[in-house]
């Protein structure tokens, strides 16, 4: 049986590799300011733009809102 700590270690390793591949960071943003929505957060992935050696943008930055759960569309 695979132990929880081993699953967590492997998950973090895989996630770190994915974030490095896309030069990305993960953050959390609170959504909504209405009373009943407070306390709800979305997971946001911020992907940096890429530039060539001359300073020309070769890949735009992106912001991916994963919501509270990751679901591929």
Q: Identify the sign of the CA torsion 26, 14, 47, 68.
A: negative
CA distances to 20, 24, 52, 69 from 57, rounded to whole Å, are: 19, 16, 7, 31
The verdict on residue 52 lying in a domain is: yes
The verdict on residue 56 lying in a domain is: yes
**63: pLDDT strictly greater than 90:** yes
The verdict on residue 14 lying in a domain is: no
Rounded to 5 degrees, what are φ and ψ at 54? Answer: -90, 0
**58: pLDDT strictly greater than 60:** yes
Predicted TM-score (pTM) above 0.75 = no
Which pLDDT belongs to residue 34? 62
The verdict on residue 7 lying in a domain is: no
Domain of 51 in residue numbering reads as: 24-73
Q: What is the mean pLDDT of residues 47-64?
A: 96
Number of domains in the chain: 1
The verdict on residue 49 lying in a domain is: yes
Closest CA to 48 of 20, 17, 22: 22
Which pLDDT belongs to residue 69? 65
């Amino acid at each position: 049986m695979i132990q929880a700590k081993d699953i967590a270690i492997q998950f973090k390793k895989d996630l770190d590799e994915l974030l490095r591949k896309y030069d990305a960071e993960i953050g959390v943003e609170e959504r909504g300011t209405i009373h009943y929505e407070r306390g709800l957060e979305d997971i946001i992935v911020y992907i940096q733009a890429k530039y060539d050696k001359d300073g020309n943008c070769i890949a735009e930055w992106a912001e991916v809102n994963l919501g509270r759960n990751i679901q591929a569309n």
